[in-house]
Amino acid sequence: MSASPGGARAAILMLLAMPAALLVPGCRVPDSGRHENVPPPVTTPATGHAKPSGRRPGVVNIETEQPLDGTRAAGTGIVLTAAGFVLTNNHVIRGATTIRGTDTDNRRTYPAEVVGYDRAGDIAVIRLTGASGLKAASFASVAGAGVGDPVTAVGNAGGRGGTPAVVTGEVTALEQSITARDDSTGTSERLTGLIETNAPIKPGDSGGPLLNTAGKVIGINTAASAGLPTKGTKEAKYHRGYAIPSNRALEIARRIQRGEASSTVHIGPTAMLGVKVRPNGRSPGALVAEIVPGTPAEAAGIPVGAAIIAFGDSVVDSPSTLTTLMLSHHPGDTVRVEWTIPQGTRMASTLRLTEGPPQ
């Protein structure tokens, strides 16, 4: 790792969803129940050097299936309310059309639906359908934490399900910045203001709680640095873990619960055009690498190799711009799309967006 301005460390790290392989059908994502209050963070004093907590407050094992990529993944969530609202990382549910959550207190598995998500903050809120009377986690402000404080990380390590894994360590730094890579998608994202710990969190722990000695959640585990496997083992050793502070995570969760969309927060079902895109070399636009069958893009006749250059009234200069513009829409919206084909001809079509997986 190399030092960066302000003392924060910059690193390439692993996002902690656990990938596997599967192809399954999808489900719908409703927008009900957005106005239930998410509990605010509660400030607690620094915990000093007391023993780490072994508590497992309101932990959910999450399994997702992404048929567009032919994969599935596992992660962790934290119960926000007795009615089944659950906090997790956005990268845990990204691309999922089927989500299941198992409450580890009552051992029941529920289908889950996405309430909303923040791509930039890597936070999402899902709801366990039909859940009631769940035990909610207790949160504390990260302002009460300091370097050297004992912490406990709890999660669905390895995607094994069942009783959550519990590992301990210390806070090794605060206000850290990282670039985290998701090996299942090849994407990366920049995260700042994180808690760093030497607790050995692993893939599958994403979205799980980082606890202080009182058993209160001070962070949401999201990434770890992986070393090479040691002799005689197949698993890499995870030397540093990073967690999103609880204050920030709960602030985003409350916005999602209130239905407050923004340039980064998407509420409810996600619109889909039906293209997989990549950068268009040195030219502007989003180059179409693949068309998803049965989607508006196929119906409009957008071909592989075309470069999408406009979406609605906005210019598309890159794949990330197209994604941002898509997230400002919802299924059923009608939008005009313009593209150029390799021969240079400019074409356009007005189409109705369908429902797709969260981004």
Q: Could you read off the pLDDT tens digit of each residue along the chain, which spans 359 residues? A: 333 333 333 333 445 554 433 222 222 222 222 233 333 333 333 444 567 776 667 999 999 998 777 788 899 999 999 999 999 999 999 999 999 999 999 999 999 999 999 999 999 999 999 999 999 999 999 998 999 999 999 999 989 999 999 999 999 999 999 887 665 555 677 899 999 999 999 899 999 999 999 999 999 999 988 665 555 666 666 678 999 999 999 999 999 999 999 988 999 999 999 999 999 998 999 999 999 999 999 999 999 999 999 999 999 999 989 999 999 999 999 999 999 999 889 999 999 999 999 98
Asked if 249 and 327 sit in the same domain, the reply is: no
Q: Residue 287 and residue 190: Cα distance in Å, rounded?
A: 24
Asked if 244 and 284 sit in the same domain, the reply is: no
> Of 228, 258, 288, at which residue does a domain stop?
258
Asked if 25 and 108 sit in the same domain, the reply is: yes
Asked if 122 and 248 sit in the same domain, the reply is: yes
Asked if 212 and 348 sit in the same domain, the reply is: no
Tokens of 5: 């301005």
Residue 205 belongs to domain spanning: 2-258
Asked if 85 and 221 sit in the same domain, the reply is: yes
Q: Is residue 156 part of a domain?
A: yes
Return the pLDDT at 2.
Answer: 30
Q: Residue 96 and residue 13: Cα distance in Å, rounded?
A: 22
Q: Please count the structural domains in the chain.
A: 2
Asked if 211 and 310 sit in the same domain, the reply is: no
Q: For the chain, how big is the Rg over CA atoms in Å?
A: 21
Non-local (6+) Cβ contacts of 255 within 8 A are 118, 262, 265
Asked if 242 and 314 sit in the same domain, the reply is: no
Q: Is residue 24 part of a domain?
A: yes
> Of 195, 224, 258, at which residue does a domain stop?
258
Asked if 224 and 293 sit in the same domain, the reply is: no
Sign (positive or negative) of CA dihedral 108, 113, 118, 122: positive
Asked if 22 and 117 sit in the same domain, the reply is: yes
Q: Is residue 151 part of a domain?
A: yes
Tell me, what DSSP letter sits at residue 83? T
CATH number at residue 328: 2.30.42.10
Q: What is the largest CA-CA distance in the chain?
A: 69
Return the pLDDT at 232.
Answer: 61
Full DSSP string of 19-72: EEE------------TTSPPPPPB-----TTPPPP---TTEEEEEEEETTTTEE
Q: Is residue 264 part of a domain?
A: no
Non-local (6+) Cβ contacts of 171 within 8 A are 145, 146, 147, 148, 149, 151, 195, 196, 197
Q: Residue 20 and residue 74: Cα distance in Å, rounded?
A: 8
Assess contact for 139 and 87: CB atoms under 8 A.
no
CATH number at residue 196: 2.40.10.120
Return the pLDDT at 14.
Answer: 46
67: alpha, beta or left? (left if phi > 0; alpha if psi -120 to 50): alpha
Return the pLDDT at 17.
Answer: 58
Q: Is residue 263 part of a domain?
A: no
C-beta atoms surrounding 235 within 10 Å: 11
Asked if 279 and 238 sit in the same domain, the reply is: no
> Of 258, 289, 315, at which residue does a domain stop?
258
Asked if 192 and 305 sit in the same domain, the reply is: no
Q: Is residue 83 part of a domain?
A: yes
Q: Is residue 346 part of a domain?
A: yes
